[in-house]
Structure formats: C-alpha cells, structure tokens
Amino acid sequence: MTEPIERFEDDPDYRVLKRIKLRDWYHEPDGSQVLKGLYVDCETTGLCTATDGVTELACIPISYLPDGRITTVHEEAALISLNDPGRPIPPEVTALTGIDDTLVAGHKIDADRVRELVEEADIILAHNAGFDRPILERFWPVFCERAWGCTWADINWGAEKIKATRLDYLSFQFGYFFDGHRAADDARAGIHLLTCTLPVSGKLVFSALLEKARQNSKRIWAVGAPYDLRAILKGRGYRWNSGDNGGHKAWWVDIPECDESAEMEWLAQEIYGSPKMLPSAIITAYTRYSERVLS
C-alpha cells in the first residue's frame, strides 16, 4: 500500500520536495498601495556581460504590497522569448540549457514589449542581478531607469543558516524543486522564493529584500592599495576593477552607508598606514548591480 505523503512530511527522517507551481493570488490587497515588480532571468552565450549575447529572456510581472507580500503573479502578461544572438552558441552552454542554434534561429525579443513591462515596474528583480542587470542594460537601456533587487545578494542567507545561494539549493531548503536552466523556470522559482518565510528572522524573503534594496550603500575604491595586500582586501570582500570600463583601476567594496567611517579607518590602519582620501559614490537601488561608471 502506498504511504500517504503527509506521513513523510511529518517524519524528521524524510524531506519531501514539491514542484514549484505559482499561484495567481497570494495575498488580498489591504488598502495599502499596490506596487509592480518584474522578475527577470536571461540565458546567454557565456558569462561575460560586456560581450556575450542573450539567447532567452523571461520577464514575469507581479503585484505586491510595500511590506513584501505578493498579491498577484501576472503570468498572462509575461514575456518569455528565445533570441538569436547572432553568433554560434557554445556546446557547453547548450549542454547546460538545452538551447542551441537551431532552437533560436529566426527568434527576436520584442524590444517594445520589454520597454512596456520595465516602465510599468517599480522594481526589477533577479537572482544574481550583478550578472543580469549589466547584460540587460546593454541590450535594452530601459533597464537602466529602474530600481533593482536581488534574491541572491540582498538576503543575508548566512544569518538564516542557509549555507549556499544557488536558486535550486534555496528552493530545496524551503521544500520545493524546479527544472532549472531555462529563463522562465528560473524566474518562476525566483518569484516563489520571494513568497517563502526565512527560518531565523521569520520575515518573508521579499520583505527582507525590500529592506536591503531601500537602504543606500557606499562604494569605496581603494585606489593605490599596495599590491602585496591584495589578499587582505579580497578577504574583506573587495573586488578588483580593471579600469577597462572607464572606472577606477582599483579594488572596491560596497558597504552600508553608515559604515563608511569604520571602513575608512580600517583602510588607514590595515592598507595605507595613514588616513587617505579615496573616491567613493552613494549606491541606491537605481545604480546597484550596474556596471555603468559611477562618478
């Protein structure tokens, strides 16, 4: 006799995974302002945001309340489209995504529809927006005009005792699975993740994301930092910018705006040996995750 699934759900020796299936409605409007979000995901010919092309794009609109409760998922209005990148798709990419040259031949993403969806959105959402935002801005500059949030970087997953941040792993942690590596599947999984409750803080994932997105941060460039101290900078979270994009050729870091004084003191003591004036810029959700040069 087949055991009822409920028995295993309540048994600590088993973990039951359910396929992600988005609902049309999650929360009823409560009279507060209803905002629009757009969850995006793209498949590409490679990992270089400056040169690689887009092979598939998914843009799924949602409606949500200011506290992060999603009211509606508008799949009927979604844009899900293949795209011929104008170059051969590498075999390793096809092996991962199933997208090959034959599949994308003759397909082109509707730029007017992309603009419509982006202009309607109060925030653009992605998992690893540090990749999606630069490449989407390159092909569709309208993405430059909107605030962005990231289900990978805008949640302190470590504080929630979740050790990895891949979208499939995060889904497993909340008891769900999906067929990944296609844009629409990944976007749906990202939306579902927003509706989950974090295990330590008890917040909705989307609530925690919005809290982070609404906070300003400060980008500091450690110009002229000694080469032999690069491992210390990297260990503190600094990243290297080659200067090829017109920006500073230096290590840089983004920190909460309120931590700027403490970071400058650390740099003076550990890197430069004395206080130093360094270039910096305020980062908001409108510029965060973009590779555009910040003055």
Question: E strands within the chain?
Answer: 18-19, 35-44, 54-64, 70-73, 79-82, 123-126, 147-150, 176-177, 217-222, 239-241, 250-256, 280-283
The C-alpha atoms of residue 295 and residue 292 are separated, in whole angstroms, by 10
pLDDT tens digit at each of 295 positions of the chain: 455 667 777 778 888 899 999 999 999 999 999 999 999 999 999 999 999 999 999 999 999 999 999 999 999 999 999 999 999 999 999 999 999 999 999 999 999 999 999 999 999 999 999 999 999 999 999 999 999 999 999 999 999 999 999 999 999 999 999 998 899 999 999 999 999 999 999 999 999 999 999 999 999 999 999 999 999 999 999 999 988 877 899 999 999 999 999 999 999 999 999 999 999 999 999 999 998 755 4
For residue 117, give the amino acid letter. Answer: L
pLDDT of residue 1: 42
- 3 state DSSP class of 5: helix
Instruction: Give percent helix, percent strand, percent coil of the chain, each to the nearest 5.
Output: 35, 20, 45
The candidate with the shortest Cα–Cα distance to 98, out of 185, 174, 163, is: 185
Residues in the chain: 295
* Inter-residue contact 255 to 281 (CB < 8 Å): no
pLDDT of residue 295: 43
The C-alpha atoms of residue 211 and residue 10 are separated, in whole angstroms, by 33
Domain boundaries, the chain: 5-213, 217-283
Under CATH, to which class is 5-213 assigned? alpha beta
Q: Fold for domain 217-283?
A: Alpha-Beta Plaits (3.30.70)
Q: Which two tokens stand for residue 159?
A: 């504080």
Same fold, 5-213 and 217-283: no
pTM of the model: 0.91
Question: What are the DSSP calls for 6-55, one per residue?
Answer: HHHHT-TT----EE----SBSS---SSPPEEEEEEEEEESSS-TTT--EE
* Inter-residue contact 280 to 260 (CB < 8 Å): yes
Sign of CA dihedral 9, 127, 23, 67: positive
pLDDT of residue 3: 59
The C-alpha atoms of residue 39 and residue 58 are separated, in whole angstroms, by 8
pLDDT of residue 283: 95
Q: Which two tokens stand for residue 97?
A: 């995504």
